[in-house]
Chain A
Amino acid sequence: MSSRKDPEPPAQPKTGFSRRGFIRGVGLGSGAVGTGLLEREAVAAPAPANVAGPGPVPITLTINGKPVNVTVEPRVTLLDAMRNYLDLTGAKRVCDRGTCGACTVILAGKTVYSCSVLAIDAQGKNIETIEGLAAGNNLHPVSTAFVNNDAQQCGYCTAGFVMAAKGFLDKHPNPTMDDVKHGLGGNLCRCGTYMGVRPAVLEAAKQMKGAKNG
């Protein structure tokens, strides 16, 4: 049940917004958090200069290598920005809490749950999504392997699984079955397609290596 994928580390102050920066900004130590004081003080305190929002802010995301401008509130997750603002609906919102992997994307080479990354924090990094995996009507070798091994039923988890498998194979190009069972532990399927996913990832590994070497 456990996942090897950790949510992204706390945001770096690159975008001007981070939890740590926020706490510093209102001039309170963490000791105040438990008292409820922080929340009340935060409303009254003047906004520090480097805080984004709470209203919509223009941001630029690099999605599948292309810059995309969008205006969202800082609280909007990368997943919601893609689905609700950019019509990129391949990643699915299922648990919305970093558990199921249906929203998996690859952010700066790292496999992440896009429901657990703020859109503003995803700026400046390439975001690989299922939409960018293959051009036109072509299929990426991972997608092809999922089709060949019937690693899908309703398909709602599939796009996330394919992205997780792609990210896994980027780092582990020559996995064993045991590696696959652990490496894909961060994605959940309700229809029960795991018996297809297992051989699909191994088949994809073979195909992708062939593609690289060839």
Chain B
Amino acid sequence: MANTPDYNWPPMEKRRIIGKPYKRLDGPQKASGRAKYGSDIRPKGLLFGVYLTSPHAHARVTSIDTSAAEKSAGVKAVHVVSPAGTEVQWAGTEIAAVAATTEEAARDAVRKIKVEYEVLPHLVKEDDLAKAGARGKAAGEKVVGDPDKAFQEAEAVSEGQYGIPVITHCCLETHGSITQWQGDQVNVWPSTQDVTHYAGSLGPNLKVPIANIHVKQDYIGGGFGSKFAPDSWGQVGAFLSQKSGGRPVILFLDRETELMIAGNRPSAYAKIKIAGKKDGTVTAWQSDSWATGGFTGGGSPPLPYIIDTIPNQRLHHTAVAVNAGPNRAWRAPNNQQASYLTCSALEDFAAKIGMDPMDVFHKNVSYAPSARVETYRYQLQKAAELADWKKLWHPRGEGGSGMVKRGLGLGFSAWGGGGHQSQCRTTINPDGSVLVEIGTQDLGTGTRTIITQVAAETLGLQMGAIKLAIGSSDLPPDSASGGSTTVGGVSSSTRKAAVNALAKLFEAAAPALGAQPEDLEAVDSRIRVKGNPSKTLSWQAACRKLGTTKISEMGENNQRNPGGLNTSGAAGVQVADVSVDTETGLVKINRYIAVQDCGMIINPRLAESQIHGAVIMGISTALFEQRVMDEQTGRMLNADMEFYKLAGINDIGEIVVHLDIREENDKRGVIGLGEPPAVAICAAVGNAVANAIGVRVPNIPMTPDHVLGALEGRNA
């Protein structure tokens, strides 16, 4: 038959494996410490690479002398990254690197490198725009409708200033790789979110044919958007290996350098004015926002977030260049910031007119993209129900007479998803064994498990019958795991490859069953005639019909034309229930409600873990995380994990997830869930704190310092 094969997902009621909560397949490897990450690979003759970095935030390297380091015991290679004349724009910039037989020897040698700097003036803080001077670049004003008139005629106007700081990715496995450059062959064991494109990015810089670069990664210790490219350390590790005569070199950043230079989320600050009616309808929005994404720019939150069709708007944004490490994509880039700024301003408007913010949000989601308005209304209602909002919400400042006040707050989110470009090869061997190959990576999201589920479902086999290969540049090309696009991409390419391979198996088995190939189906490890289950062959028997020729079929997810297998667009509403100690300023999460839109769920256990993880990471950012820069030295004061705080197991309260698995969502196909639930937490927590203590704490994180500051400001 010349018809296009039917790649559609099987209907909900017919699925045996998709939609079931299988345990993650690599769980036993990880939980037993046997999983080998890039930083765990120990090839024979391994050399240890260590960086020397700049102590200055802004300086020119005037001289560098590596002679003593080269002679230092155990040293096999020295590479200068920033030669004399280089202008350094942030502290932590790589100056030189050493590879030696032990890490201790490499550290000793690095200390012997003599560098002289001409120290130049720096700016490292952006929270006060007035001090930014020429470092601020205004984007120009954007006006919609007639904001002046709308503000003049408004029944109510609220104003506020809000800020969300720079935070870091703080991946537990730092950035880096092990590299062996021997002759014209390069082997790399990186920590990357993009196995497929790693060699292509590295090749031109090494001037080595891309085909000679072999990339292998079984496990990655966290990426969150910060580990796409090989980066300068990918190259430097290769150079050190080459200079040492081809020995493998491990070059991973130390924690301090990781936190300073290997990625961060841009800040966002804004003065926001909202005009509206006393019934809660917003009529005008004005924002003067500013942000920094480091020296190279970045950080422009889309304001107003979600409710972007408010008829009258005046927007003004200034990008501030500071002498600090450059930003990278951070789990839903720009969205947390925009959600925090918008939801805070909306909650302040509700407080100004004396309305319940739940009602004000309900009213104003009509300004959201039309396809999502009803979804938000449904989710607001669901979140209110799960949070016991009617009973627990109170007007601001009525959080009880004791020292500890309780409050509820609300935030919303939106994200794309979709499925990235992906190719899968499915091989069916005459002995019945099945190999599925994709050059993708499992970031801990469960990618291995869901690919295997899709293949097993499609081929009518058990999970254990599928052998899966991922994490190598020798495999069919996939794409970067970013933008929550992996699950859509790999599930679709796997489905297509498996359908294509199965069609070939049907052709081989059809004569034995006295049927046409298109009349066959694969169920319960058997190939049988549809509607006539007595005409059947075991999977093995069917595969034996292949003789000595294996089936090897490709399947591709075309990002632009996913054919209904995956799509984009996930919405969410979240509610934080907090208690604030007004004496100590400590904020405690009681409960956290996440209502999340989704597409077809391949594995509900893993989907729920994604949402838990996103919320926990968000709670960490809402309560603890901020990059603290020192104006005097230009350095990050908390470039360690003692003072760059992450939430612990007792800091997160109880998390309630409502995953909206309804048939109407299932029909949309697969949608990624890495980012959608990670957006609204600062917004919800900030609003809950304001609700509890009766006063807005403008700046995230909700530390005792910020909370007490706001309380004192009110009393002053």
Contact = CB atoms under 8 A, between A and B. Distances in A.
Does chain A bind chain B? yes
Interface of A: 1, 73, 75-76, 80, 83-84, 87, 89-97, 99-100, 102, 129-131, 133-134, 139-140, 142-144, 146-148, 150-159, 162, 180-182, 184-185, 187-198
A187 to B, nearest CB: 7
A156 B617 contact: no
B222 A156 contact: yes
Central interface residue in B28, B30, B48, B620, by most chain A CB within 10 Å:
B30
Contact of A150 (B24, B28, B642): B24
B33 interface: yes
B32 A190 contact: no
A184 to B, nearest CB: 5
Interface stretch (B411-419, B512-520, B650-658): B650-658
A158 B219 contact: no
Contacts of A156: 37, 171-173, 221-222
Contacts of A102: 172
A94 B172 contact: yes
A76 B107 CA distance: 12
Contacts of B103: 80, 84
B616 A95 contact: no
Contacts of B624: 1
Contact of B650 (A99, A150, A181, A189): A181
Given A84-B48, A147-B28, A155-B219, A89 B649 contact: no
A192 B65 CA distance: 44
Contact of B255 (A75, A95, A181): A95
Given A94-B255, A181-B650, A190-B646, A143 B613 contact: no
Given A155-B444, A194-B649, A97 B35 contact: no
Nearest to B33: A90
B90 to A, nearest CB: 22
A96 B107 CA distance: 15
A197 B170 CA distance: 20
Interface string B612-628: 11111100100010000
Interface residues of B, number: 58
Contact of A188 (B27, B102, B221, B648): B648
24 contacts: A1-B645, A1-B651, A80-B103, A84-B102, A90-B32, A90-B33, A94-B172, A99-B640, A99-B641, A131-B33, A139-B28, A144-B31, A148-B23, A153-B444, A153-B445, A154-B221, A155-B444, A156-B172, A162-B31, A180-B649, A187-B649, A189-B616, A191-B613, A194-B616
A167 B517 CA distance: 58
Central interface residue in A96, A100, A150, by most chain B CB within 10 Å:
A150
B53 interface: no
A130 B33 contact: yes
B363 interface: no
B37 A192 contact: no
A191 B35 CA distance: 17
Interface string B25-55: 0111111111111011010000010000000
A147 B446 CA distance: 12
A155 B30 contact: yes
B220 interface: yes
A181 B221 CA distance: 24
Contacts of A189: 172, 616, 646, 649
Contacts of A187: 648-649
Contacts of A144: 31
Central interface residue in B36, B48, B172, B655, by most chain A CB within 10 Å:
B172
B443 interface: yes
A182 to B, nearest CB: 6
Given A84-B103, A92-B221, A99-B642, A190 B655 contact: no
Contacts of B640: 95, 97, 99
Nearest to A87: B42
B446 to A, nearest CB: 8
Nearest to B224: A190
A19 B33 CA distance: 33
Contacts of B445: 153
Contacts of B254: 96
A154 B641 contact: no
B649 A185 contact: yes
Central interface residue in B444, B642, B655, by most chain A CB within 10 Å:
B444
B291 to A, nearest CB: 24
B172 A146 contact: no
B309 interface: no
Contacts of B651: 1
Contact of B655 (A191, A195, A197): A195
B408 interface: no
Contacts of A195: 609, 612, 616, 652, 655
Contacts of B36: 89
Given A154-B443, A155-B221, A147 B649 contact: no
B118 interface: no
Contacts of B222: 154, 156, 190-191
A134 B104 contact: no
Contacts of B255: 94-97
Contacts of B33: 89-91, 129-131, 133, 158-159, 162
B606 interface: yes
A141 to B, nearest CB: 11
B617 A193 contact: no
Contact of B32 (A80, A139, A185, A196): A139
A194 B589 CA distance: 14
Contacts of B617: 190-192
A155 B606 contact: no
Contacts of A193: 609, 612-613, 616
A213 B645 CA distance: 41
Interface string B666-688: 00000000000000000000000
Given A84-B102, A156-B221, A180-B649, 19 more contacts: A84-B48, A92-B37, A93-B39, A95-B641, A133-B32, A140-B32, A147-B24, A151-B31, A152-B24, A154-B222, A156-B171, A157-B172, A188-B648, A192-B612, A192-B614, A192-B615, A194-B612, A195-B616, A196-B612
Nearest to B40: A89
A76 B30 CA distance: 26
Contact of A100 (B614, B616, B641): B641
A85 to B, nearest CB: 8
B193 to A, nearest CB: 11
A202 to B, nearest CB: 13
B591 interface: no
A80 B50 CA distance: 14
Nearest to A55: B73
A153 B613 contact: yes
A102 B33 CA distance: 11
A75 B26 CA distance: 35
Contacts of B23: 147-148, 150
Q: Which are the 9 A-B pairs with shortest beta-carbon distances?
A: A90-B33, A192-B616, A156-B221, A155-B30, A154-B444, A130-B33, A153-B444, A192-B613, A89-B40
Nearest to A151: B31
B605 interface: yes
A158 B613 CA distance: 14
B614 to A, nearest CB: 7
Nearest to B170: A190
B642 A97 contact: yes
Contact of B641 (A94, A146, A197): A94
